[in-house]
Every structure is written in C-alpha cells, then in structure tokens.
A and B are shown apart, each in its own frame.
Chain A
C-alpha cells in the first residue's frame, strides 16, 4: 500500500521477555568445534541467544512481557479493548493463540483478539493494525509480538543455528490526540520461496519424508519442516527494498535523516545491519544493535532492541524513531514516530 499516517495514537510502554536458558557457539562443539567461531560471531554479531525449554512457547514469553507491562502501566485489565498477537510459532493450529492469551491475561470478554502470521516485518505491521484499531474506536490495545525461532530451524543447520534466538514482547497503545504514527508497508510474494518452511502446512502436509534431515546447499543439514533461507536472494531483496522504504517514510514524516534519533531496524544480523547503515549513511550511534545476547528474534527484534538499547533514552524523553522490518513473505514495513517518555521495564527472564 501507499503510506499512511494514523493520528491520535501513542505508545505507552514496551516490555520484552526471554527464556532463561541460553546457548552459544561454545556450547555446540559438535557443530562449530572445527570452525572459526570468532569469525562467525564477527559476522552475525551474535555471541549467545536464548532458547525456550521444552513446552515453552512464544505466547508464554509474550504473556510474561504483557504482565510486566500491565503492572508497570497500572492499566486496568478491563480497559484493554483489543489484543493482537504477531508470530509464526503459534501454540496450536487452532484456536488462535491470542484467544488463549486473552484468558491467561484475564482480559475482559469484550476484548477483540486475533493472530497475525508475519515474521520479520511483523512488528511494524502489528503497530499499523493496532493503530488502525484506534481509528475503529478502540481506546487501548495490547500488541504482542514473539517467536520461538529456535524451534523452526534445524538444530544442525550451521547457517541458521548461530543466528536465531527466542523472545516475546508486549507493546501498549492508547488513543490520545496530538500524536501521529506514519507507516509505509509492502509485499513481494514472488519471493515467497526465499524464506520458507516448505512442509507442515496444508500445501505440503508433514510426512515421514518431510521430516528427514539431509545435507543441502553449502552442506547445511535440514528437512523440509525446517526454515530455509536463500541468503543471496534475501540480501538483494533487502538492498532493493529497504533504502527506498526508509526514504519514503522519512519523506512522509517530513524528517531528514539527521533529525532521527534512532533507526531501529529488524535485527537480522550485524553484517547486514552494517551494510544497510553504510548504504543509508546512518551513524553507528543512531543504529541500536541488540544481537550479541539475543540473536535474530524475528518479529520481536525491533521491540527487544528498543527495550534493550533505549531504556535510558526514550524512557525519559521523547525521541524520534524510524522502525523498519523486512524479511519472510517477502514483506516489509517502516514506521516513523515520536516515542517517549514511555514505560520500558527491565528485561523479563522467564524460567
């Protein structure tokens, strides 16, 4: 779509949660013992990542983040009129995970709740949807974005394991005059095969064959039920779409690059963020990177970067932010907003 600007919406707070268990390259000598771990870390920017324990889901992490946020905001639960859950790792095939979250969060029965199945672009899409709900009459919306990415990759895929981590986030939005959030969203489904889990849906149901892990390109071992990423295609897509996307969102907001305090981009990996920053002329100080302890947490990566890197900044006073998510779909979105002062609780560690 062309861009849109939604008035009367303000973000009151953002909280993030991660599972307690962590993993790093040094914990996987059978996979990375013979490799140059230092080089992998230099490229990915990821030293360790958080991993859910068996039975723990993205909704569990989002629940912890939401509980912390509601408490810190002192919001009456009955005042929440809609719950949006963005993820690609749902609790069940049916019902929607957001319905389970409505009950677990003790939100009122009058609360609308639905899931949105998007990945790296999901946080910006979720903000857009939540903001649009304000135009539809909602006063308070809780927007949860979380992923257990470590569950959808092959545990022996040397290209994927050192990149991804698990996290859940909660963002509280409220209707208030005098604010505006600008959006620019897009899709190129012709590239759907470049980031995909081919089997396990209705198009190609799980089977004994789809679960078999075999060596694929570059010697990476995975099955058709594991995430596949075509690195060169995803990178060229990023170079093609993200710089114009950021130029459009700046034009819509009427800001120059220099007037933006922080560009919070999807935390794909450090190498790609560095290349994008160089291409766009964004100084390092304006580009939060929250990869070292978390990895790429898909739809949770933008809010996690905000809570991790901007706690001492946006929590105190208003900052101009440009957000951009891009990836699986292929799908992308950017938002420009003034954020803060807002509630940014400390990271929640979920046992």
Chain B
C-alpha cells in the first residue's frame, strides 16, 4: 500500500473526508481517535495489509507517522 492510500484508509478509520490526513497529525488532536478507531485500524490492517498489528504498540502511537511504523514496512513511501 502506498503512503497516500494509507492516509485515505486512516481518513476512513477516523470517519474523516478523504484527503484530510496529510501525515503529520498528532492522533491526540484528532477527535475520532477513540477506542473504536483503534479497533477499526486493527481491522483495516488485517484486511488491507494482511497484518495483525501488535495491539500494545498501536495503543502507544502518538502520531499518524507512528501508525505507519506499526504497519511493519507494509506502507511504502
């Protein structure tokens, strides 16, 4: 998955308009980043990246960039 496609997936997880996420956002500033968004992100990674995220690492993510890192190289710049 390209980084642009990944940002669109994060838009979808957070129920934002496509194109909202640019990559430098802090998750704590995004009102949609709640417990259900965490689960939706896990489901997205499973279905779109074929990856079962490490939950503990995901919970510690602070930025959209951190989300890219927990995807273990499956998102290409």
Contact = CB atoms under 8 A, between A and B. Distances in A.
Given A43-B36, A231-B39, A236 B55 contact: yes
Contacts of B46: 239, 275, 279
A271 interface: yes
Given A231-B39, A279-B46, A279-B47, A236 B53 contact: yes
Contacts of B53: 236
Interface residues of A, number: 15
Nearest to B38: A232
A235 B47 contact: no
Given A231-B35, A232-B58, A275 B43 contact: yes
A218 interface: yes
B interface majority secondary structure: helix
B56 A231 contact: no
Contacts of A271: 36, 39
Contact of B59 (A159, A232, A239, A275): A232
Contacts of B71: none
Interface in B26-77: 34-36, 38-39, 42-43, 46-47, 52-56, 58-59
Contact of B52 (A230, A239, A275, A278): A239
B55 A232 contact: yes
A233 B55 contact: yes
Contacts of A236: 42, 52-55
Nearest to B58: A232
B72 to A, nearest CB: 13
A109 interface: no
Interface in B1-46: 34-36, 38-39, 42-43, 46
A240 interface: yes
Interface in A265-287: 271, 275, 278-279
A235 B39 contact: yes
Contacts of A232: 38-39, 42, 55, 58-59
A240 B35 contact: no
Given A218-B34, A239-B46, A279-B46, A233 B56 contact: yes
A239 B36 contact: no
7 contacts: A232-B38, A232-B39, A233-B56, A235-B39, A235-B55, A236-B53, A239-B43
The 8 closest A-B pairs by CB, nearest first: A232-B55, A233-B55, A236-B55, A232-B38, A275-B43, A239-B46, A239-B52, A218-B35
Given A218-B35, A233-B56, A235-B43, 11 more contacts: A159-B35, A218-B34, A231-B35, A232-B55, A236-B52, A236-B53, A236-B54, A236-B55, A239-B46, A239-B52, A279-B47
